[in-house]
């Protein structure tokens, strides 16, 4: 059973797809991620890309994020995210887009820029590179925003132009890379 680890909905159960169709971010890793983010989550505009169970975005909403746009390619899984949002009373703060990342660009542009973009792409499918190409276009993140990618050690991202690696953590067979707009792209001259 998947549970929310913090915030006002801490301990609430989430419905998940049976089997191995999705790989939800584990509770310890989610808790570590949100401990790192700390007060940045409050009132943040969040995107949960490759949302799967939606646990990352739901966790952000529980911890005070203003809104979350969930992007999940699998329709049944997207419907499960919608059901979790309804059962937790979070429908007014969120939107679920049931399509892949490329097809969701219009919805993302309409809701951008985001303070936090949480992404857990499938491992070994080249999606980390595609996500970085999208982020390098410059419209996805707010000037002080963060892109956090969960990935395998074999897919460690290299920061594209306009972004820099802010932090990097390893948790067993998974890693978190934190990317932020580079100081040059923010125009603050530092």
- pLDDT per residue as tens digits for the range 149-184: 999 989 888 888 889 998 999 988 889 999 999 876
pLDDT given for residue 43 in this prediction: 98
- CA dist 54 → 67, 129, 162 (Å): 13, 21, 28
Burial (CB count within 10 angstroms: exposed 0-12, middle 13-18, buried 19+), residue 89: exposed
pLDDT-based confidence at 185, cuts 50/70/90? Answer: low
Mean predicted lDDT score pLDDT of the chain: 89
Candidates 3.30.565.10, 3.40.605.10, 3.40.50.150, 3.40.50.300; correct CATH number of 2-186? 3.40.50.150
| Confidence (pTM) | 0.91
- pLDDT per residue as tens digits for the range 34-55: 999 999 999 999 999 999 889 9
CB 21 within 8 A of CB 74: yes
Quickly count: other Cβ atoms within 10 Å of residue 130's Cβ.
Answer: 14
pLDDT given for residue 24 in this prediction: 60
Domain ranges of the chain: 2-186
């Amino acid at each position: 059973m998947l549970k929310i680890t913090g915030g006002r909905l801490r301990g609430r159960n989430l419905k998940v797809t049976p089997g191995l169709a999705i790989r939800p971010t584990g509770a310890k890793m989610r808790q570590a991620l949100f401990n790192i983010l700390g007060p940045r989550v409050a009132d943040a505009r969040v995107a949960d890309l490759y949302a799967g169970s939606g646990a990352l975005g739901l966790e952000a909403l529980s911890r005070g994020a203003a809104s979350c746009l969930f992007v999940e390619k699998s329709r049944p899984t997207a419907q499960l995210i919608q059901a979790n949002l309804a059962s937790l009373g979070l429908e007014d703060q969120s939107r679920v887009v049931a399509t892949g990342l490329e097809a969701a660009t219009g919805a993302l542009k309409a809701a951008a820029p985001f303070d936090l973009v949480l992404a857990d792409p499938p491992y070994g499918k080249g999606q980390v590179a595609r996500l970085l190409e999208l982020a390098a276009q410059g419209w996805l993140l707010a000037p002080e925003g963060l892109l956090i990618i969960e990935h395998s050690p074999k897919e460690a991202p290299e920061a594209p132009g306009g972004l820099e690696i802010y932090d990097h953590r390893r948790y067993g067979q998974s890693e978190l890379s934190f990317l932020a707009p580079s100081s040059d792209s923010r125009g603050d001259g530092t």
